[in-house]
Structure 1
């Protein structure tokens, strides 16, 4: 089994990258037959800008641009998609959102024809979301931020495409020392159970 781990953070030495690496380490530890690829969107220079060419692809007037086709091919090789990202303004970073905007195209991720219901085309692709937050869990719970994030990301994006969200994890600071180590342990555990027969249950921190 093969996982595509997409990480969105401009600093390679960030906690976000460390968490992504631990997910990968967990996958390797779970079974030597499993593999992974890490897509570092910042380092690779992915362009998140939704252009006229992307609009043409959405309207089915032209094929998607070459960089989008390359990303779709990477996803097609994967048995699971893992997104690791910091929380910016109670959502994912613009780079990652732009990746989704451009890559999850009409006709590939879903089929939205005006004369029929939306066809969900990614039901075969389990999704694992690992968000790193800067506010306390109490803040997320009191204001309903994590619930709002799950509505817009888990349901608004992935359920629209039919992709089942198996993990929805929010890692937040704690008062205890070793919080970063705790985050890495959670990430490792996510990787270890990524390809369990029954799949990991979706988790909620709200």
Structure 2
């Protein structure tokens, strides 16, 4: 099986990148599925290094309105997701949500006609039901702050439910890794490798 690991952080030596790399290693090292002799493959999508443009342009709007075709870079991103059995997104928390780069990737790539189809007002056709999504967020606040203000719950509502479940994708994992966690940061790296080994452990 094949996984696409998306990372959105401008610093290649960041903890975010290190965690994404460990997840990828774990996926690649995990045993084949029962009855198969094929291992698992991983593609890394480093949005910053690749120079992905997060700006939603008039061309994107035309594609949304179906008065134009999707830009070539978006077609390529959608093809990467289409090739994947699992989508893993690793990102730092900026202002209690995605970084702008990652939000722009979602805005531009998860388009009407590909990720979902509006049928009537308030109703849509979910088109990514085959996709399994794993979200790993890295933050600096402590658990008490996240719980007291309900930040993580708000993130799950707007990201897990508002984006992926709206498109029919199954959010299998939604992890929050914080600097206040015991054993930071080594424990996060160890957890990431173990997490990668579980991505394809129990498929539907």
Q: TM-score range by the shorter chain?
A: over 0.9
CA-to-aligned-CA distance 1:128-148 (integer Å, 9 cap, x gap): 000001100110001100000
1:22 corresponds to: 22
After the TM superposition, which parts of structure 1 deviate over 6 Å for at least 4 consecutive aligned residues?
none
Aligned to 2:54: 48
Provide the C-alpha distance between the structure 2 equivalents of 1:53 and 1:73, rounded to a whole number of angstroms: 19
By how many angstroms is 1:60 displaced? 1.1
2:75 alignment partner in structure 1: 69
Query: What residue is the counterpart of 2:7 in the other structure?
Result: 7
**Correspondence 1:135 to 2:116:** no
Structure 1 residue 111 displacement after superposition: 0.3
Alpha-carbon distance in structure 1 between the residues aligned to 2:88 and 2:122: 31
Instruction: Note the alpha carbon deviations across 1:50-93, whole angstroms, 9 max, x for none.
Output: 00000011111111000000000100110000000000000010
* Count of residue correspondences: 198
1:189 CA displacement = 1.6
> How far did residue 175 of structure 1 move?
6.4
Other-structure match for 1:31: 31
Unmatched runs of 5 consecutive residues or more in structure 1: 200-206
Give 1:189's match in structure 2, choosing from 176, 191, 194: 194
- CA-to-partner distance for each residue in 1:151-180, whole Å, 9 max, x for gaps? 00000000100000000000001264x411
TM-score after normalising by structure 2: 0.94
For 2:41 and 2:143, the matched residues in 1 are separated by 33
Q: Which runs of structure 2 are paired with 1:160-175 in the superposition (5 Å)?
A: 160-174=166-180
Find the aligned partners of 1:53 and 1:39 in 2 and give their Cα distance.
23
Q: CA deviation at 1:29?
A: 1.7
Q: How does 1:110-129 map to 2 (within 5 A)?
A: 110-114=116-120, 117-129=123-135
Question: 5+ unaligned residues in a row in structure 2: which ranges?
Answer: 33-38
RMSD of equivalent CA atoms:
1.4
- CA distance in 1 between partners of 2:2 and 2:159 (Å): 23
Q: Structure 1 residue 24: deviation in Å? A: 0.5
Output the CA distance in 2 between the equivalents of 1:153 and 1:92.
Answer: 9
Q: Within 2, Cα distance between the matches of 1:147 and 1:168?
A: 11
User: In the alignment, what sits opposite 2:94?
Assistant: 88
CA drift at 1:31: 2.2
Q: Is the 8 A contact 2:3 2:86 kept in 1?
A: yes
CA 1:175 to 1:57, structure 2 compared with 1: closer, same or farther past 3 Å?
closer
CA distance in structure 2 between the partners assigned to 1:48 and 1:194 by the alignment: 28
